[in-house]
Chain A
C-alpha cells in the first residue's frame, strides 16, 4: 500500500470511526457512476435530494428520483413526511411497490427527524426517507451516525416552503453532514413526431459530493424499474463525454 493510500485510509478512519458499511448502490448509468468516488450511492450514509426550479416547492420530480433509488434497493422503506401529499401510485410508476413502503405521517419536522433517527437504527430496513424543509448540521450528523451504524441508507428529501421564498433552500444553508446533495430540475422534453408526451427529462445536479466534484447531467426520468437513462440524442453531445449508446438498463 502506498503511503498516500495509507494516509487516506487513516483520515477516513478519523472522519468516520464507526463506518463499517461500504456497500454501494450504483445508478446503473456509467456517466454518473464513474463520476462518484464510491462508484454509486453509499448505503450507510445520508444523501440529500431536492427539487430545483419550479419543482423546489412540490419536490415531485425529486420524490420520483428518490423512489427510483429505493426501487433498486430491496427491503422495506420508511417514508416520513409532514405534508400528506405523497401519492403511492405515482411512486409505483417509478418502481417502488406499495408493499415495500411504510408511511410515517409526522406532525412536525422535529418528529420527522426523531422518526428518521429511530428507523435508521434498525438494520432490517432498506432506506429511510424524510421530507424536510430545514436540515441543520447537528440534526444531519445524528442521522449520519445512526445510518453508519446500521448500514441503512438515509435520504433527506428537501422541500421549500411556499410562504417565505428562500427559506429551506439547500444552497443557502450552511454545510451539513450529508454525503451527497442532488438537485432535480425538470427540463422540457423533446417534441414527439405525434401529439403526446415522451419520457420526462431531468437536469440532475450533483451540487455537493464528499470526496468528489459537483457535476450536472441531463437524464431521462426513472422508468418503471427506477433506472435513469441517457437521452439518445444527447449521448453524442459535448456535455456527456461518451460515445453513442442507446438507453441501457442495468438491473
Chain B
C-alpha cells in the first residue's frame, strides 16, 4: 500500500454515506468532509475508505489531552479535533534560561515538535481566551501563532466567521448578508444580530473577546490519585482555603498509601463560582506521601489564588506518582538520626527558588577548569568522586576569565607583574605552568589551543590563578594574551 494513496473515513447518515474526515493527500485533490462518498469516489477513483470511529477518536483525543498535562495542570479535549491547555502561569517553565519572557513560543514549539515526532500534524495558538485560541489555531495562516495579551480581537478580526464555532446554517445566512470576517461581525450592532440569529452568536463573540467566561473542564488521566471537595457555600478567606487544602492532602495521602504510591507532582485546582479555575503546581525531589510536608509546600502559594466571588470546589491531583514502599527508618543496627532525610528541605527550596537553582556539582573528566564540573540533582546518590587533589584550584572562579595585561618571559616563566582593573600587582612568588590542552574531540577549533596556568602570589599575599593562551612557541596554540581565571 502506497502512503500517498488518499485516505478518508466515512459513516452512514440516513440513507447516504458521507465523508467524515480526509487526510492531506485527499484534501489536496479537492475532497472535503461532508460530501457523499459516491461523489468522492467519482472524483478520485483510487481511494482508501475506512469506517469512521467517533468513539475511538474521542478516546484518542482524551489520551492526547492527558498527555498535554505535561505542559500545564489544566488541559481538556476540545472535540472533534483539538485540545485546550490553560497555560496561565506555566509558560515561564519552558523559557530558555537567558530569555525568561519567551516561554510561550518555546512551549508551542516543544508541543508541536513532540506531536510531529508522534506523527500528529498540529497547529497551535496562544491567546487570551479559549475561544480566541480555538479560532486562531484553526484559521490563522501560520501553524504557530501567539496573540499578544490583549490583542485577541485584532488577531481574530480578519478570520472567517466559521472560526466562531457557529451552526452551519447561521454561517450560511451570515455569509449571505455579507458578513465574511469576524471583524465585520464585531463591528455590527448587537441587538439586530441577536434578534435574527439568536443569542448563541453573541455568546460566541463574547467568549472570544473574554467578556463571557468559558471554563474548560480539566481532564485527568485514568487512575491518577485525585481528591475533590465541593462546598455548599463558596469559600473565599485564605484560612478557609488552607483548611480545605489540609483536608485534601490528608485524603490524598490515604489514597496514595492504599496504592503504595508517593506523589512527585501535585496540582491543586480551585474552581471559582464564575467558572474560572486557578491552579497551583508543586514538584517534589523524591516521591512523598507525607501530608504535613505537602501542606508546607502548598501553603505559601495559596496566597497567589484570587478567590473572586468565592471558590466552590477544590481538587488535589497527584499528577505524577511513583511507587513508594514502606521504609524502615530506625533499626537496632544504626543509631536513629533526627531529620537525616533532606528531601523535605530540598523540596521547600526547589519550590521557592526554582529547580535549576538548587543543585550539587559532580566532577567531570575534563582538564579545562570550567568544564570540570556539572550540576546534578541535590539528592543524587553520593558517589565519592572528587577532583585530583594535587592540582591547585581556586575558591572563586571568574566566568568568563578576566583579561589582564601581563609581561612574562617566554616560553614558560610566570609574569613578574600584571595589571587587573587598572591596578598593578607585583608578583613575588609563582608556581607553574600547568598546561591544559584544548579538547579537540569537542570542537575542531580547539585542536591546537593551549592554556598555561600559573598560581602567583602578589606583595600583599593574595594568590591569583592566571593563564596565558598559547604555549609561547607555536602561534597556532594561542595569541599569548593573559587572563585572570580565579582567586585562591
Which A positions have Cβ atoms within 8 angstroms of B? 53-55, 58-61, 63-64, 67, 76, 78, 84-94, 97-107, 111, 114-115, 118-119, 122-125, 150, 185-189, 191-192, 195-198, 200-201, 224
Contacts and interface: CB of A to CB of B under 8 A. Distances in A.
Given A87-B396, A192-B429, A196-B430, 12 more contacts: A55-B487, A60-B486, A87-B369, A91-B395, A97-B384, A102-B358, A103-B360, A123-B338, A124-B337, A188-B459, A191-B428, A195-B429
A121 B352 CA distance: 16
A224 B389 contact: yes
A101 B361 CA distance: 8
Interface SS, A side: mixed
B223 interface: no
Contacts, number: 168
A102 B360 contact: yes
A92 B457 contact: no
B153 interface: no
A171 to B, nearest CB: 19
B342 interface: yes
A101 B397 CA distance: 17
A124 B345 CA distance: 9
Contacts of B462: 53-55, 61, 186
Contacts of B349: 78, 104, 115, 118-119
B383 A118 contact: no
B387 to A, nearest CB: 4
Given A98-B360, A98-B373, A60 B394 contact: yes
Contacts of A92: 386-387, 389, 393
Given A86-B396, A88-B373, A124-B340, A201 B387 contact: no
Contacts of A60: 394-396, 486-488
30 contacts: A55-B487, A58-B396, A61-B488, A63-B395, A63-B396, A64-B395, A86-B395, A87-B394, A87-B395, A87-B396, A89-B363, A89-B372, A89-B393, A99-B383, A101-B361, A102-B358, A102-B359, A103-B359, A103-B361, A104-B349, A104-B357, A104-B358, A105-B357, A106-B357, A124-B339, A188-B457, A188-B460, A189-B461, A197-B457, A200-B461
Q: Which of B342, B359, B394, B487 has the most CB of A within 10 A?
A: B487
Q: Which of B339, B375, B459 has the most CB of A within 10 A?
A: B339
Contacts of A192: 429
Interface of B: 337-342, 344-346, 348-349, 352-353, 357-363, 369, 372-373, 375, 378, 382-387, 389, 392-399, 428-431, 455, 457-463, 486-488
A102 B346 contact: yes
Contacts of A104: 349, 353, 357-358
Nearest to A83: B396
Contact of B348 (A64, A118, A150): A118
B152 to A, nearest CB: 32
A189 B429 contact: yes
B342 to A, nearest CB: 6
Nearest to B358: A104
Q: Which of B344, B455, B463 has the most CB of A within 10 A?
A: B463
Contacts of A105: 353, 357-359
B258 to A, nearest CB: 29
A65 B52 CA distance: 74
Nearest to B455: A197
A197 B431 contact: yes
A82 to B, nearest CB: 11
B43 to A, nearest CB: 63
Given A99-B360, A186-B462, A189-B457, A93 B396 contact: no
A189 to B, nearest CB: 6
Contacts of A191: 428-429
Contact of B399 (A61, A84, A100, A196): A84
Q: Which 10 residue pairs are nearest across A and B when measured between Cβ atoms? A: A99-B382, A87-B397, A124-B339, A89-B393, A90-B395, A186-B461, A123-B339, A60-B487, A188-B461, A197-B431
Nearest to B428: A188
B363 to A, nearest CB: 7
A148 to B, nearest CB: 15
A93 to B, nearest CB: 6
Contact of B342 (A114, A115, A122, A198): A122
A208 B260 CA distance: 54
Contacts of B394: 60, 87, 90
Contacts of A197: 429-431, 455, 457, 463
